[in-house]
Amino acid sequence: MGNMIELKSADGTVVPAYEARPAGTPQGAVVVIQEIFGVNSHIRSVADGYAAEGYVAIAPAMFHRVKPGVELGYSEADMGEGFGYKTAVEALPAPGAMPDIQAAIDHAAKASGGKVGIVGYCWGGLLTWRSACTLQGLSAAVPYYGGGVTSEAEIARQTKVPVLAHFAEEDKWIPLDTVEAFKKAHPEVQVFTYAAHHGFNCDQRGAWHEPSAKLARERTLAFFAQHLS
């Protein structure tokens, strides 16, 4: 359904992105932020799924500044490699790779002629939360099990747009007590938890939990329909 395009970031860096467009007139746009595995077949299928719902979907390559062309699977080795790239991106001098997301938002707004939402998974969930708090041009944000979102530093941020957050109750990376702390600090955020593990949305991972993924997607689509229409 989609194809690779190029985005130009604020500092002139050219960043690849996967773009999927709907069959008819777009009803808005959704920026899709990858896990630590790159813009792989799963993330492209997620973008395709939002395009099928009527949105222009853009998935920028968030590792591009440290390693172009990353597309990993889900083995232990892949996880270690991806974590290394994520660590390298997080270590970039501020503002790091955040302008690449801003470039995706700006492109999505022009391409769709409508409002822009953002959704991200795992590390992408963290970047989605940061985007909701720091970037311009968004109307809604949906982080899925964002690693680090429930840390004190991230909880201290204030969102500029409506946020719907999904967490997994059996997530060994994000303890439920920290999710409760996040909820308490951000009563304006809709928070849902699921009887599943970290990564439950990805049907290419062992952690995939179809009932949770289906319910979270239904809630996300309803949230975007409310705020992007």
Give every CB contact of residue 194 below 8 A, 6+ residues apart in sequence.
166, 167, 168, 169, 200, 209, 212, 215, 216
- What global pTM score does this model have? 0.98
198 carries an active-site annotation: yes
Q: Say what the pLDDT of residue 206 is.
A: 87
Q: Name the 3-class secondary structure at 49.
A: helix
Residue 171 annotated in active site: yes
pLDDT at 1: 72
Say whether 122 is catalytic: yes
pLDDT tens track of the chain, all 229 residues? 799 999 999 999 999 999 999 999 999 999 999 999 999 999 999 999 999 999 999 999 999 999 999 999 999 999 999 999 999 999 999 999 999 999 999 999 999 999 999 999 999 999 999 999 999 999 999 999 999 999 999 999 999 999 999 999 999 999 999 999 999 999 999 999 999 999 999 999 989 999 999 999 999 999 999 999 9
Catalytic residue among 64, 198, 209, 227: 198
**Helix (H) or strand (E) run with residue 101 in it:** helix 98-112
Q: According to the 3-state scheme, what is the secondary structure of 123-180?
A: HHHHHHHHHHHHCCCCCEEEEECCCCCCCHHHHCCCCCCCEEEEEECCCCCCCHHHHH
Q: What is the pLDDT of residues 21-67, one digit of tens each?
A: 999 999 999 999 999 999 999 999 999 999 999 999 999 999 999 99
Q: Which of 64, 122, 186, 197 is catalytic?
A: 122
Residue 183 to residues 9, 179, 180: CA-CA distances in angstroms? Answer: 33, 6, 5
Nearest to 58 by CA among 40, 38, 43: 43
Which member of 171, 197, 209, 227 is catalytic? Answer: 171
